[in-house]
Structure 1
Amino acid sequence: MIASTTPAPSKFVASLRGLIGRCPNCGQGRLLRNYLKPVEACSACGEAYGHLRADDAPPWMTILIVGHVVIPALLSVEQTYEPPTWVHMAVWPLLSLLMTLVLLPRCKGLVLGLLWSTGAPGSER
């Protein structure tokens, strides 16, 4: 951690910054360099993030959110409109895939921001 004169952001602010893919410390640098790969350190403030491990939390959160959106929508459409099976087979897997691809990096950023704000060591020891 690089010493600074500004106070550390709250857990809520750090998590929100992570959610939008920004450095939880300063909010300026990027948190992820590729789709899901965290940067080693922030380009703006120098805070290290390469040691943090989100493990299974982001996929778990993504599955939870997608499932709670898609399944009720599917059931509602089926009861209201009764579309043919081919419509269901075309719409719901595509919607699930798109939601997963959009949410997964945001969930990872949220988890990394929360881990950083709690001072988690990021190692398995």
Structure 2
Amino acid sequence: MDSKILRRQKIRYRIRKKVAGVAVKPRLSVFRSNTDIYVQLIDDISGQTIAAASSNDKDIKAQAGNKVEKSKMVGAAIATKAIALGVTTAVFDRSGYLYHGRVKAVAEGAREGGLLF
């Protein structure tokens, strides 16, 4: 495997040892591909995804903007879905990515949408 992938995987495992989500305070997990970004609210006790949003959603994909701007929209979308389900706080899981660029934009969008973490 590529050393970059292994490095991220080691960081991801280290983060997951400390970060766990429950139904009241789920884990906000971020996955970043080259073109899109995906976010999930996960209850680790039951192993279920509570809500999900991505830059592939129709309303976000139709918007104009670069990847960072769309990531901020994804953060706002997941915050809206979470608040509709009665979730106000979450634990942020950056999945081994640096807290910079698109990952940071998702976190800021979620905070501006009313999600606390």
TM-score for both structures, normalised by structure 1: 0.28
Instruction: Determine which structure has the larger helix proportion and give its number.
Output: 1
Work out which of the two has the higher radius of gyration on C-alpha atoms and give 1 or 2: 1
TM-score for both structures, normalised by structure 2: 0.30
Which fold has the larger relative contact order, with Cα–Cα distance below 8 Å and residues 6 or more apart in sequence? 1
